[in-house]
Structure 1
Amino acid sequence: MGRLRKMEDTVSLHPSFCVWAGGEPMHFFGVFDGHGGPHVAALCKEQMHAILAEELAIAAEDYLAHRDEEGAEERAWRTALSRSFARVDALAPAACACGRVATAAEGACACPLSAGERCIIVGSTAVVALLVRDRVIVANCGDSRAVLSRGLDAVPLSVDQKPDRPDEMARIEAAGGRVLFIDGPRVRGVLAMSRALGHELLKPEVICEPEITITIRSDDDHCLILASDGLWDAISNRKACDIARQCKEDGILTRAHAAGSDEACRSSGGGAPGGHQPEPPCRHAAAVLARFALCKGSCDNISVVVIDLNVMG
């Protein structure tokens, strides 16, 4: 939660959430940073992966019918992601803070933070990473970010969609909107990003179409970091990757040492020292990054996911 009064970020982790056309497992990871309330971020956490699995199943059929065409597979992935973001965006005005969508038949949700009415000012960023075979597919809408740790480099796999980005400002103005500089650039002086899910009041200037990158994995890839702007406003891409890589290396050594100690105890008839396993390195890295961002002065909600690419096939 950081230094804010409430938590509006969510994360969603679904390894092997579906099977792609060739029988390969696909893995889903997402970070969603809510604005104006937790409703749309909660909706993303609860439903984005399920909706995307449906769209990928449809896209797989189309890909198999056109697999001989150049770029057919990548087009299928892009179409599925774009359609999924659009479907979640369409559900956003009726979202409840628990991630449920109110329907006319069921009525409003009974949870304490129920919207009770259309959430036209509530929205969320969405950065989603899919892993399949040797590909990392990232779809981004807003200013959460995906960064790949490759060797000693930090490779951004998404670009923040800020209202003063020249292409985004031109698009906003072409839609009849304005970018006002009120504590930074904001759409109509309200929203500090140019794309997001929800925010019905700010359409058509604020759109839900994600920017998508597809990256071929390398043997030098250590991990993938997904995080909300609470991290990136305080820590550079390079520093975040350095910290994650060091935590991962230290964790591997710690686990190897613990395994050796356990084996030694078993050989001598003793019990396992300490009685517990060390924390998984990537979980530890995510926690360290969040704490470091707080120490560096971040005042926002902070959500971090670190994915070990050496174990995610």
Structure 2
Amino acid sequence: MEEEARRFLGRYLEELPAPLGPEDPLPLTPLSRKVSLEELRGESLDLGQRLLTARDAPSPLSAAMCHIALSELLKTDLLTFQLPQDVGQEQREEQEVVLLQSELVQRLFVNKLREVGVAWKQHLPTPLPVGPARFLLCSAHAIRNTRRKMEDRHVSLPDFNTLTGLKDGVERSYYAVFDGHGGVDAAIYAATHLHIKLSQQEMLVSDPAAAFKKTFTQTDVMFKGKAQRERLRSGSTGVAVLLQGEWLHMAWLGDSQGMLVRQGQEVTLMEPHKPEREDEKQRIEDLGGCIVYNGCWRVNGTYAVSRAIGDFDQKPYISADADCCTTRLDGDEDYFLLACDGFFDTVRPDQVPALVLKALQEHREPLGAGEGAGCDSGCEEGVSTAPLGQSVAQKLVDHAKAAGSSDNITVMVVFLRLPEQLLIPDQRNTTAASGPAPE
């Protein structure tokens, strides 16, 4: 790890040999032109992670550098970047929100990140940041498919504690899929900020389910402020997993779904929120709304989801109250899968184990752009040199598309044991009992 870290830091500082000046362009575009103090953490860490990941930084090193750079940024007088209040704002609470000019403050953040790189190139920290002890190969793939825009986003944070600065001795990692509608803004916002708010919950150790639920609500409130300022109208369903010690906590809004596979068998953890679900229908009608069939069941004849972040024109009928389930991991779990409805529209959960097994057995088509990136461009056929399991998500996405899905499709498979162990004869026979993979 030490030699890998030194090589990366050398490359990184060759590309950024000097601090950015006031007129120098940022190496990457910030997510927003204006950012509130509450949003600054998420947006800075997002920019830093994108910047370092694009330069092949080891994940634990990237997370540690971003955290330290953010800590140094927050020590500065950020009010020097404050924008003047918009006299046209009608909401009093909106007038009290301090907004910063994002490009200026992120230029300072990039320079702080560079300072960390310079210091570490001279003297690497001891001990070096390392990844989680639990084996976690993450295979993720996403395609726009036949839709005009790509409105999905997904997040993989194996170094959750390092990135967010948690030091309570409990190992954590975080994974999520967000499916936007009416635009991508809500999905981007949730992918950027939800894990940050989760890390700040006081009850994260004592009551993770309550912490997760509160996090979704707070993220929705935060996005409402941005939506009002920028006149945004989008929404996003989502499903997220926090691995905390030996426990798996899954929280969700809407029809994005997650599932666990244990010894080749599907384990149902959740039921998606859909307008036609009897309890959802009753909740909406009790609030004075209605469920109307227009190609599919829709809330007040508009949105085809009953819970989401955003969609403020249909609140409270479309709720931001997440559900959460908790499962203890005994060590015999194979993997968990997160995906948007574009996948589950054409693939039943009970078909997943056989499809994953088939993908592992084939293992001959290359990934392309690396773990979790998703490769939609020319990849030559042949024996894959990627680790076994890394191309599984791409195979699942391809299957869903071939089965007739026209929606955006995002699939994330996080292995909880070595994929090779899923191919041993007794495990293969157990998995095959779930049924043959659909043709």
TM-score under structure 1 length normalisation: 0.76
- Identify the residue that residue 145 of structure 1 maps to in structure 2: 257
Which among 4, 7, 27 is matched to residue 173 of structure 2?
A: 27
Which among 61, 83, 94 is matched to residue 214 of structure 2?
A: 83
Is residue 195–residue 206 contact of structure 1 (8 Å, CA) maintained in 2?
A: yes
Which among 142, 162, 170 is matched to residue 282 of structure 2?
A: 170
1:130-209 mapped onto 2 (5 Å cutoff): 130-209=242-321
CA deviation after TM superposition for structure 1 residue 173, in Å: 0.5
Taking the aligned partners of 2:416 and 2:168, their CA distance within structure 1 comes to 21
Which residue identity is paired with 2:222? Answer: L
SS of the residue corresponding to residue 158 of structure 2 reads strand
SS of the residue corresponding to residue 303 of structure 1 reads strand
- Identify the residue that residue 294 of structure 1 maps to in structure 2: 401
Taking the aligned partners of 2:417 and 2:168, their CA distance within structure 1 comes to 22
- Identify the residue that residue 261 of structure 1 maps to in structure 2: none
CA deviation after TM superposition for structure 1 residue 84, in Å: 1.1
Is residue 209–residue 326 contact of structure 2 (8 Å, CA) maintained in 1?
A: no
Quick check: 1:59 aligned with 2:188? no
Is residue 2–residue 294 contact of structure 1 (8 Å, CA) maintained in 2?
A: yes
TM-score under structure 2 length normalisation: 0.55
Which residue identity is paired with 2:217? Answer: A
Taking the aligned partners of 2:246 and 2:239, their CA distance within structure 1 comes to 19
CA deviation after TM superposition for structure 1 residue 191, in Å: 1.1
Q: Provide closer, same or farther for how the CA distance between residues 95 and 4 of structure 1 changes in structure 2, counting only shifts above 3 A.
A: farther
Which among 132, 143, 156 is matched to residue 13 of structure 1?
A: 156
- Identify the residue that residue 68 of structure 1 maps to in structure 2: none
SS of the residue corresponding to residue 6 of structure 1 reads coil
Which among 335, 339, 351 is matched to residue 227 of structure 1?
A: 339
- Identify the residue that residue 184 of structure 2 maps to in structure 1: 38
CA deviation after TM superposition for structure 1 residue 205, in Å: 0.7
Q: Provide closer, same or farther for how the CA distance between residues 181 and 187 of structure 1 changes in structure 2, counting only shifts above 3 A.
A: same
CA deviation after TM superposition for structure 1 residue 132, in Å: 1.8
User: Which of the two has higher C-alpha Rg?
Assistant: 2
Which residue identity is paired with 2:245? Answer: R
CA deviation after TM superposition for structure 1 residue 231, in Å: 0.5
Give CA-to-partner distance per residue, 1:203-223, whole Å, 9 cap, x none.
111111111000112333111
Taking the aligned partners of 1:220 and 1:295, their CA distance within structure 2 comes to 32
Which residue identity is paired with 2:160? Answer: F
SS of the residue corresponding to residue 49 of structure 1 reads helix
1:95-114 mapped onto 2 (5 Å cutoff): 95=226
Taking the aligned partners of 1:246 and 1:23, their CA distance within structure 2 comes to 38
CA deviation after TM superposition for structure 1 residue 288, in Å: 0.4
Taking the aligned partners of 2:177 and 2:239, their CA distance within structure 1 comes to 6
Taking the aligned partners of 2:330 and 2:360, their CA distance within structure 1 comes to 17
Give CA-to-partner distance per residue, 1:27-46, whole Å, 9 cap, x none.
10000000100000011111
SS of the residue corresponding to residue 44 of structure 1 reads helix
Which residue identity is paired with 2:284? Answer: I
Taking the aligned partners of 1:54 and 1:29, their CA distance within structure 2 comes to 17
Taking the aligned partners of 2:180 and 2:226, their CA distance within structure 1 comes to 12
Which residue identity is paired with 1:90? Answer: V
Which residue identity is paired with 2:189? Answer: L
* Greater Cα offset, 149-158 or 8-17: 149-158
Taking the aligned partners of 1:23 and 1:226, their CA distance within structure 2 comes to 27
Is residue 244–residue 306 contact of structure 1 (8 Å, CA) maintained in 2?
A: no
**Superposed CA RMSD:** 2.4
CA deviation after TM superposition for structure 1 residue 95, in Å: 4.5
Instruction: Mark the runs of 5 or more structure 2 residues left unpaired by the alignment.
Output: 1-143, 367-382, 420-439
Q: Provide closer, same or farther for how the CA distance between residues 231 and 277 of structure 1 changes in structure 2, counting only shifts above 3 A.
A: closer
Q: Provide closer, same or farther for how the CA distance between residues 281 and 23 of structure 1 changes in structure 2, counting only shifts above 3 A.
A: same
Taking the aligned partners of 2:336 and 2:391, their CA distance within structure 1 comes to 14
- Identify the residue that residue 4 of structure 1 maps to in structure 2: 147
Q: Provide closer, same or farther for how the CA distance between residues 311 and 43 of structure 1 changes in structure 2, counting only shifts above 3 A.
A: farther
